[in-house]
Amino acid sequence: MKKAKKVIVCDAILDEGVKLLREAEDIECIEAAKVPKDELLGMLGDVDVAITRSSTEVGETFLNAAKNLKALIRAGVGVDNVDIAGASKRGIIVMNVPTANTIAAVELTMAHLLCSARSFVNSHNYLKQERKWEREKWYGVELMGKTLGIIGFGNIGSRVGVRAKAFGMKILAYDPYISPSKVTDLDMQYTTNLDDILTKSDFITIHTPKTKETNGMIGLNELKKMKDKVRLINCARGGLYTEEALCEGLKSGKIAWLGIDVFVKEPATDNPLLDFENVSVSAHLGANTLESQANIAVQACEQALNAARGISYPNALNLPIKTEDLPNFVAPYIELVSKMAFLCAQMQKGAIKSIRLEAEGQIGEYAKSMLTFAAVGALQSILGESINYVNAEFMAQEKGIELGFATLPNSGYNNKLCVKIVTENASFSVAGTIFEENDQRIVDLNGFKTDFKPKGKMIVFKNKDIPGVIAKISGILAHNKINIADFRLGRDGSGYALAVILVDEFIGKAVLDELNAYEACIFARYAEL
């Protein structure tokens, strides 16, 4: 039996996620959230994967202690506390969880937006805390008919736009890294000029990551271009607006209201912005809902499992391919193609002769890059930790494995990828696509149409298409006390069928032998993703 991989949870996350690690048979889960940080260092020596939040500083001291570390997951969006360059030098893949708190951040932005229009926080405090009935003091403005400038139109910014539009606002969006159609298809206005946002907006909200380019992107010069009595919101990252400019704008009256959740230095208990009356503040609560924290915990632990097993590295920040620079629709395919290749390799045992990737649609532009991820997914079970995204092509060549890719005409999906592995004896192919933003689906197995999520334990069963097969399979599994979670069947019209049976338990050799002994069975194989 393979030695269990060690995953350490350095900071507190909800139990919904940690439970996944505890229950994984091939994982040793180390729960160290309550361990003092100086003692934590002594626990890192043989750890394979680490999960952290903002309270653990992942600098040189941490990285030097974690001598065996292969991957690190920041359970959240921001990676300000992670030395990504240092991790990269040591071959450690750094991932974050960028979308789990999307709705929470969107809704907090809306709270600050509404507050900025109606001074809600102040009127509330005057009445409840000071017991003053002030009606004339707190005249507000309506959102209806006003222009909301949105800087950054990704997962969060776009959803803020949809909700603000429902209030009757005019939406003006600036984001140089998206297709204009993402904005215009929502009946909103797109601009390539940041000055349009600054000069035309009554309200401005910012939703960009914090990078060298965006840090301090709104300063005194930008403030001067804005309308008088502009209202500004920041629930993204501290420092996107310079705090010096914000203080100046509040003093001069240029800024009518500031709604802010994030600060350059946190905790921000002595920040000068707190001294202004026309400011609504929250203590970096953008992700603080029960739902988002559960999502963060589950997604972080799922990523840790995939990384520990070498299957995939979703939301990786330091791969040779800079996923943050790719269009938003590409990133889910990176994870999907790794899973498809890993599944394909489990289906087709034997020495691999070639790995081929076929792409349909716009994703075809990235087929060459995707091939690298497919190669790692396919060869991981053979080469283990010796293969990574840097050396994949070299390792394949060394093994005499041919790598190839092609773009094909559209077959009915907007985008589709197909991984085909050829061994000395046979071949097997797995095709998949993404529905909505990140709904991963396997849609074809070796020519058989299907539809299932690439996740969990499964039996792939090919058989002669005759009556009684499903009943026989179900009987064998029931006899062995194996619960069926889902059953998907595809037929080829030539007398054969292929079923994907999702199960709750590991399927051992004895059960597979029993299935394969059934006279109608062509093959029965177990896989896990």
Residues taking part in catalysis: 237, 266, 284
Cα separation, 326 vs 319, in Å, equals 12
Q: Are 152 and 177 in contact (CB under 8 A)?
A: no
Q: Which amino acid would we find at residue 516?
A: N
Q: Please give the structure tokens belonging to residue 176.
A: 């140089």
Name 14's Cβ contacts closer than 8 Å, sequence gap at least 6.
293, 294, 296, 297
- Output phi, psi for 141, to 5 deg: -125, 160
Cα separation, 439 vs 335, in Å, equals 11
The DSSP bridge pattern shows strands 170-174 and 189-191 to be parallel
Cα separation, 277 vs 259, in Å, equals 11
Q: Are 138 and 277 in contact (CB under 8 A)?
A: no
Strand positions, DSSP E, 310-467: 352-361, 402-408, 415-423, 427-435, 439-445, 448-452, 457-464
Q: Are 106 and 163 in contact (CB under 8 A)?
A: yes
Four-residue CA torsion sign, 317, 323, 329, 332: negative
Angle, helices 509-517/469-479, rounded to nearest 10 degrees: 150
The DSSP bridge pattern shows strands 71-74 and 49-52 to be parallel
Cα separation, 288 vs 77, in Å, equals 13
Residue in 392, 393, 397, 326 with CA at minimum distance from that of residue 365: 326
Work out the number of other CB atoms within 10 angstroms of the CB of residue 482: 19
Cα separation, 430 vs 347, in Å, equals 10
Which residues face 95 on adjacent strands?
73, 316
Cα separation, 50 vs 385, in Å, equals 16
Angle, helices 102-118/120-128, rounded to nearest 10 degrees: 70
Peptide bond into 98 cis (omega under 30): no
